[in-house]
Amino acid sequence: MSLENIDRALVSHDLVQDLKWNAGLREEFVKDEAAVLDRYALTAAERTAIEERDFRTLYDLGFHPYLGAQFARILFANNTSGATGAVQRLLASIRREPDPGRTEASGA
Amino acid sequence: MANISLAVAASHAPGLIGMFDQAPEASRKMVASAYGSLTRQIREAELDVILMVANDHMANNRIREYPDFVVGMAPEHRGPAEFFKDWLGCGEYVLPGRPDIAEKILNGLNRRGVPVSATRENLNFDDNISVPVVKTGIEASGVPIIPILQNVTVPPFPDQHRCYEIGRQLADLIENDLPSDLRVGLFATGGMSHEPGGVRDFWIDEDFDNWFLGLLGNGSHEKVLSEVTLERLDRAGIGGTGELLSWILVMGAIGERPCDVLGYTAWDKWRCGIGAVSWDMTPAPAGR
């Protein structure tokens, strides 16, 4: 998973940066994810990967892992101290292991 | 002629604030001791400004337009940025800036061939600035800071040799461009081993971290530059361990000096090896 393979042009990067920088957009994303995704020129593969929380595919498309950790906190509603639950779910995805589920993510 | 009166380096990790009380006792004790020592040193150095060389975790720029360095020229630095506040478990802080000195750093480094950008807006700070500020009581000390955020995560970025050379240019700037008798502190924050968002997240390379601290303690900068390569940093954690390049930049600024290793600990839920060092700024550096 070398950083040399990241795709700087990937639209998903813009989506995550906007979600980080705009709390209102983040709220909207939680309420209606599809409506927010509609506004970004994501490829079909990117969009499906996001919808399926498939970080492995997203990374294979060139997504930067540092933003992956931040995106996981948004996707798994786990932005509290440490956010270990979100990272464990991200790790399960990129390792192709069973999803540890939402229990720890929501309770962390 | 301005003086570098303090030079220290320490890890940052979000869990050092919000998850501090959950950590094993030995880890808590080490952090309290090491950061407590840094707190005292900052107080005793009677600094006019702290240049905080920190890593930018893509909090301020889009990935396709990523500068190697961003200098914070705001009159006040407020943190943490909204998205990171709950994640850090961190209260808000306000630190005075030094726009006059920040402007000289911007211009001085660019004139010396180091491409640097800057902003008068408040930068977005995550654990990079927030953790050292909170853990070493900088807000209460009243010492102004100038954040110098460094790209270490979006390739290509300056390697260890280039960072060391940029540190030398920064020292020249401090000596020749800044007001005489200004007491400057250098605080490198970043690392140690970790792989944020990567397949080895939660893994900490304790062997690497202890080896690196040993190198600093032994004091041979030549050895650091020949052995702490980007490839070696990646082997100890892609996208995270490279944050130690901020330490190497500060080493370039001060030259070879005795280095006191203040401690090291690794707890997997902090997701990063935690170490801290302080260089002895009293004797003249070797070879100068």
**What's residue B189's pLDDT?**
98
**What's residue A108's pLDDT?**
37
Range of the domain at B44: 3-279
Q: Report DSSP letters for chain B, one per residue.
A: --EEEEEEEE---THHHHTGGGS-HHHHHHHHHHHHHHHHHHHHTT-SEEEEEEE--SSSS-GGG--SEEEE--SEEEES-HHHHHHHT---EEEE--HHHHHHHHHHHHHTT---EEESSPPP-SHHHHHHHHHTTHHHHT--EEEEEE--SSSS---HHHHHHHHHHHHHHHHHHSPTT-EEEEEEE--SS--TTSTTTT---HHHHHHHHHHHHHT-HHHHHHHS-HHHHHHT-TTTGGGGHHHHHHHHHH-S--EEEEEEE--GGGTS-EEEEEE--SSPPTT-
B80 preceded by cis ω (within 30°)?
Answer: yes
Higher pLDDT: B262 or A107? It is B262
Give the nearest chain A residue to B16 (CA atoms).
Answer: A82
* pLDDT tens digits, one per residue of A8-64: 999 999 999 999 999 999 999 999 999 999 999 999 999 999 999 999 999 999 999
* pLDDT tens digits, one per residue of B49-71: 999 999 999 999 999 999 999 99
Residue A76 DSSP symbol = T
Domain assignment present for residue B77? The answer is yes
| Token pair of B30 as six digits | 């080490």
- The answer to whether the Cα torsion of A49, A50, A51, A52 is positive or negative is positive
Contact with chain A for residue B12, Cβ under 8 A: no
Cα distance between residue B247 and residue B255, in whole Å:
12
Contact A81 B89 (CB under 8 A): yes
Contact A21 B83 (CB under 8 A): yes
Domain assignment present for residue B66? The answer is yes
Half-sphere exposure of B274 (CA within 13 A, CB side): 28
Domain assignment present for residue B161? The answer is yes
Domain assignment present for residue B284? The answer is no
Domain assignment present for residue B287? The answer is no
Domain assignment present for residue B107? The answer is yes
Among candidates A23, A69, A82 on the partner chain, residue whose Cβ is nearest the Cβ of B197: A69
Contact A81 B15 (CB under 8 A): yes
User: Which CATH number is B73's domain given?
Assistant: 3.40.830.10
Chain B residues inside the 8 Å CB shell of A70: 58, 83, 197
B58 preceded by cis ω (within 30°)?
Answer: no
Contact with chain B for residue A5, Cβ under 8 A: no
Domain assignment present for residue B189? The answer is yes
Chain A residues inside the 8 Å CB shell of B59: 20
* pLDDT tens digits, one per residue of B151-196: 999 999 999 999 999 999 999 999 999 999 999 999 999 999 999 9
Among candidates B19, B59, B198 on the partner chain, residue whose Cβ is nearest the Cβ of A81: B19
**What's residue A101's pLDDT?**
77
* pLDDT tens digits, one per residue of A56-83: 999 999 999 999 999 999 999 888 887 8
3-state secondary structure of A105: helix
**What's residue B283's pLDDT?**
72
**What's residue B115's pLDDT?**
97
**What's residue A107's pLDDT?**
41
To test the contact with chain B by mutation, choose from A7, A55, A70 the residue with the greatest count of B C-beta atoms within 10 A, namely A70
Contact with chain A for residue B271, Cβ under 8 A: yes
**What's residue A105's pLDDT?**
46
Contact with chain B for residue A22, Cβ under 8 A: no
Among candidates A21, A80, A91 on the partner chain, residue whose Cβ is nearest the Cβ of B201: A91
Using 70 as the pLDDT threshold, list the residues of chain B that sit under it. Answer: 285-288
**What's residue A102's pLDDT?**
54
Domain assignment present for residue B285? The answer is no
The domain tally of chain B equals: 1
Contact with chain A for residue B156, Cβ under 8 A: no
